[in-house]
Amino acid sequence: MCWSLLSPTAENPDVGHPAKSVIVHSQQAMPFPVKLKQKPPHAFVLEALAPLNPEVRRMFSGFAVYLGDRIVCMLRDHKKSPRDNGVWLVLSESANPADPDLRREFPSIRSIGLLGDKIRHWLLIPSDSPGFEMEALHACDLLLQHDSRLGRVPQSRR
Tens-digit pLDDT profile for residues 44-82: 999 999 999 999 999 989 999 999 999 999 999 999 999
Q: What is the mean pLDDT of the chain?
A: 83
CA 2, CA 50: separation in Å to the nearest integer?
10
Q: 23 with 45, same domain?
A: no
Are residues 40 and 70 both part of a single domain?
yes
24 and 43 in one domain?
A: no
Give the model's pLDDT for residue 14.
Answer: 43
Domain assignment of residue 7, given as a range? 1-29
Q: Is 20 helix (H, G, I), strand (E, B) or coil?
A: helix
- Say whether both 22 and 38 belong to one domain: no
Query: What is the per-residue pLDDT for 36?
Result: 54
DSSP secondary structure code for residue 29 in this structure = T
Task: Kindly provide the residue ranges of all beta strands, DSSP E only, lying in 33-154, ordered along the sequence.
Answer: 55-59, 62-67, 70-76, 86-90, 122-126
Query: What total number of domains does the chain contain?
Result: 2
Please answer whether residues 91 and 122 qualify as being in contact, where contact means their C-beta atoms are separated by less than 8 angstroms: yes
Asked if residue 135 and residue 77 are part of one domain, the reply reads: yes
The answer to whether residues 3 and 52 belong to one domain is no
One domain for residues 25 and 97: no
Q: Are residues 59 and 70 in the same domain?
A: yes
* pLDDT at 18 > cutoff 70: no
Q: Which of 150, 146, 154 is nearest to 59 (CA)?
A: 154
Amino acid 28 reads Q
C-alpha span between 102 and 97 (Å, rounded): 8
Least confident of 20-29, 40-49, 66-75, 121-130: 20-29
